[in-house]
A and B are shown apart, each in its own frame.
Chain A
Amino acid sequence: MRRARSSFQQRKARTGLLFLTPWILGFIFFFLVPIANSIRYSFNDLKASDNGYALTFEGWSNYSQALYVDANFVRNLTTVVTNMVVNVPLIIIFSLFIAVLLNQKFFGRSFTRAIFFLPVILASGIMVSINNAGFMQQIMNANLASGDPSGASVNGFLQSIELRGMLLDIGVNESIVNYLTGAVDRIYEIISQSGVQIIIFLAGLQSISPSLYEASRIEGATGYEAFWKITFPMVSPLILTNLVYSIIDSFLNNKVTQQINSIAFQTLDFGLSSAMAWIYFSIIAAILAISVFLVSRRVFYHD
């Protein structure tokens, strides 16, 4: 009996390995080999020719050039990291809030949901690239500079001048005010980056058993208490998931990646580009590790 069972397990394991064979092959050829090559290129000077390429070893010079010589790289890197630090908490709070709203029952709910998931489809792609290219921005700015008040209103769509003054009058700390008003000014950016996170939170909210809420209602908990004592702990694993997703997502397409790309394919300096990509990746990995370490200790697992 024992023996037959183990042989079945062995057969399963063999099939598992068989199922994974395509992936393992792809993982080696399209991931591990390129990664190893990328490390190799970053320590070398690569001259591409018609049939292949030639490498000359250079040590750390590509890295030092990226960090100390290149005028833009470090600056771009700090901008990107700062943006990430500012945006990711906002995205997470915002998407949790929206998911809670969209989980309630109201008229036109599925229609509203459909609109909120639209950015998942649109914002990841070309629309952003074109807007980044600054073509429309230039025209808008030209419009603004012409002193035309109607032009100003086009550009100033969604500005929080009133809110800022109000908060400052109340006596809120100025840096907090700047953070909040900045968030309001960038509402489009934040909404368009939080589509997937809303979907994930929404799915999590729907998987919370209604009996928990019923019990709390009988005990006399208010909606506010139910949110902090039930909803929040139950979705906290998803906060971790979303944190990781948002961080990765915010590093996918920005100034640094554009620079890495242009150095590789316009300047044709593959070595420098690889070195930059590795510096970039190690910074991302460090940020991910720190944030996962900090958050995962507070995550509550139900089972």
Chain B
Amino acid sequence: MVVDPTESAAGSELAFNKSKPAATDLYRFKRRVTNVNKWSKLLWSLVRAILLIGMCFVILYPILLKVSASFKSLEDLSNPAVMWIPEHASWNNYRLAIEVMDYFTAIRNSFTLSLVTTVLQTFSCALAGYAFAKLPFRGMKILFAGVILTILVPPQTILVPSYINFKSFDLFGLFHLFGGRGINMLDTYWPFILPAITGNALKSGLFIYIFRQFFRGISKEIEEAAFVDGAGVFKSFRSIMLPNAIPAMMTVMLFAFVWQWNDSYFSSNFLPSMNTLTTATLALPYKVNVMLNQTATNVDPFYASMLVDTGLLLSILPLILMYLFVQRYFVESIDRTGLVG
């Protein structure tokens, strides 16, 4: 599939051509038409195009459907002639959805949360990954097995104890010792910041793994040259390793941001009353129903679903915008991270 068969046959064709130097026009025409390789190549690219276009459609279909629904007005819903492009396009749905979700507060909260954890997590994971890759010491293998364990254990297993832990946060009962009570950290950013600083937040194990693979791929010579020139481990890390690791950091930051942004599991439990984008979106169907119930006696389910669709679109809109800009890194950075090595 990767090697196209036409070119392998090209050589033999040439030899064939030489043995019949006096080919007539008819013969040439016949050969062109009956050239199986060429036809099969053409057919393959046609099949490929159909397959890819079809699957792109499958991916985009739900989004397109939501975009179309978000611009429709109530009249368009009952108009059977309207399938995709609404007749009375309006921003009304967006206005209502923004109001119901308290969109701008939510987006600010989500953005702060994702940005802070992303930066901290990238730094701590780079540190750990570098140590695992380049600074061997006894017992490191056991610690790395610990990293793998954090990838494997589902978050559900540790959610309840972490919840209780953060509800009255207490390092080894030290606060109790000094007469205080544990600090309630729910509804603050601390349950996200503390694990992020220490490289144990959402999917951190995976990021440490990515960094380790990447740093292992950087050749020893560069680093040894720095050591010979008198740089310490810190200096070589800061001025040689980190600048080289920008592709890997890019990848990790992207994934960390996206996963934190999309995470509803931890944010709904650790931030029960803070309005982040995920909690706002999850509560949207309920809130829309309540809002519509105030004005009308029975809720039109289609209208409600239209509003929910609009809210969903709004919540993924920042991600899509971001993706448009950094898409190139996303697509191309992985093969530079050495994830594969």
Known: A30-B198, A126-B282. A158 touches B334 (CB 8 A): no
In the complex, the answer to whether A264 meets B194 with C-beta atoms within 8 Å is no
Q: Mark A240-255, 1 if CB is under 8 A from B, else 0.
A: 0000000010011100
In the complex, the answer to whether A15 meets B3 with C-beta atoms within 8 Å is no
* Distance from A240 Cβ to chain B, minimum over Cβ atoms (Å): 12
In the complex, the answer to whether A20 meets B143 with C-beta atoms within 8 Å is yes
A84 at the interface (CB under 8 A from B): no
Interface residues of A in 1-59 (CB under 8 A from B): 8, 11-17, 19-20, 22-27, 29-31, 33-35, 37-38, 41, 48, 51-53
In the complex, the answer to whether A288 meets B152 with C-beta atoms within 8 Å is yes
Contact of B131 among A16, A112, A216 (CB under 8 A): A16
* Distance from B155 Cβ to chain A, minimum over Cβ atoms (Å): 8
Known: A27-B150, A117-B327, A125-B262. A98 touches B55 (CB 8 A): yes
In the complex, the answer to whether A15 meets B153 with C-beta atoms within 8 Å is no
- Complex Cα distance A27/B130, Å? 17
Known: A127-B316, A135-B305. A16 touches B136 (CB 8 A): yes
In the complex, the answer to whether B3 meets A223 with C-beta atoms within 8 Å is yes
In the complex, the answer to whether B198 meets A223 with C-beta atoms within 8 Å is no
Residues of B within 8 A of A203 (CB): 334-335, 337, 339-340
Residues of B within 8 A of A135 (CB): 285, 305, 308
- Complex Cα distance A25/B316, Å? 35
- Complex Cα distance A113/B258, Å? 18
- Complex Cα distance A195/B316, Å? 17
Known: A104-B48, A221-B3. A127 touches B312 (CB 8 A): yes
Interface residues of B in 310-332 (CB under 8 A from A): 312, 315-316, 319-320, 323, 327-328, 330-331
Interface residues of B in 180-216 (CB under 8 A from A): 181-182, 194-195, 197-200, 208
* Chain B residue total in the interface (Cβ 8 A): 102
- Complex Cα distance A288/B28, Å? 60
Interface of A is mostly: helix
Number of inter-chain CB pairs below 8 Å: 290
User: Quick one: closest B residue to A129, CB to CB?
Assistant: B264
A227 at the interface (CB under 8 A from B): yes
In the complex, the answer to whether A101 meets B258 with C-beta atoms within 8 Å is no
Residues of B within 8 A of A150 (CB): 80
In the complex, the answer to whether A30 meets B200 with C-beta atoms within 8 Å is yes
Contact of A103 among B2, B259, B263 (CB under 8 A): B2
In the complex, the answer to whether B160 meets A130 with C-beta atoms within 8 Å is no
Known: A119-B59, A124-B262. A280 touches B1 (CB 8 A): no
Known: A13-B137, A104-B48, A203-B334. A248 touches B158 (CB 8 A): no
In the complex, the answer to whether A121 meets B320 with C-beta atoms within 8 Å is yes
Residues of B within 8 A of A136 (CB): 305, 308
Interface residues of B in 34-57 (CB under 8 A from A): 45, 48-49, 51-52, 55-56
B127 at the interface (CB under 8 A from A): yes
* Chain A residue total in the interface (Cβ 8 A): 106
In the complex, the answer to whether A139 meets B58 with C-beta atoms within 8 Å is no
In the complex, the answer to whether A110 meets B160 with C-beta atoms within 8 Å is no
B157 at the interface (CB under 8 A from A): yes
Contact of A26 among B55, B160, B199, B337 (CB under 8 A): B199
Contact of A216 among B3, B60, B168, B199 (CB under 8 A): B3
In the complex, the answer to whether A139 meets B301 with C-beta atoms within 8 Å is yes
A273 at the interface (CB under 8 A from B): yes
In the complex, the answer to whether B51 meets A35 with C-beta atoms within 8 Å is no
Residues of A within 8 A of B181 (CB): 51
Known: A23-B128, A106-B48, A110-B331. A125 touches B264 (CB 8 A): yes
- Complex Cα distance A8/B152, Å? 35
- Complex Cα distance A270/B143, Å? 29
* Distance from B262 Cβ to chain A, minimum over Cβ atoms (Å): 3
User: Quick one: closest B residue to A157, CB to CB?
Assistant: B61
Stretch of A63-71, A163-171, A184-192 on the interface side: A184-192
B4 at the interface (CB under 8 A from A): yes
* Distance from B78 Cβ to chain A, minimum over Cβ atoms (Å): 13
Contact of A34 among B149, B162, B262 (CB under 8 A): B162
B302 at the interface (CB under 8 A from A): yes
In the complex, the answer to whether A224 meets B58 with C-beta atoms within 8 Å is no
Contact of B127 among A23, A114, A226 (CB under 8 A): A23
- Complex Cα distance A216/B182, Å? 67
A204 at the interface (CB under 8 A from B): yes
Interface residues of B in 46-99 (CB under 8 A from A): 48-49, 51-52, 55-56, 58-63, 80
User: Quick one: closest B residue to A251, CB to CB?
Assistant: B154
- Complex Cα distance A157/B2, Å? 32
In the complex, the answer to whether A35 meets B323 with C-beta atoms within 8 Å is no
Q: Mark B148-185, 1 if CB is under 8 A from A, else 0.
A: 01111111111111111100100100000000011000
User: Can you show 26 pairs from A to B with CB atoms below 8 A apart?
Assistant: A11-B233, A13-B136, A14-B137, A15-B135, A23-B128, A25-B198, A26-B199, A29-B171, A38-B161, A101-B52, A106-B45, A112-B52, A113-B331, A120-B258, A121-B262, A129-B282, A136-B308, A158-B58, A203-B335, A203-B340, A221-B8, A227-B2, A251-B154, A252-B155, A265-B269, A277-B160
Q: Which 5 A-B pairs have the closest CB atoms?
A: A26-B198, A125-B262, A16-B135, A13-B137, A37-B161
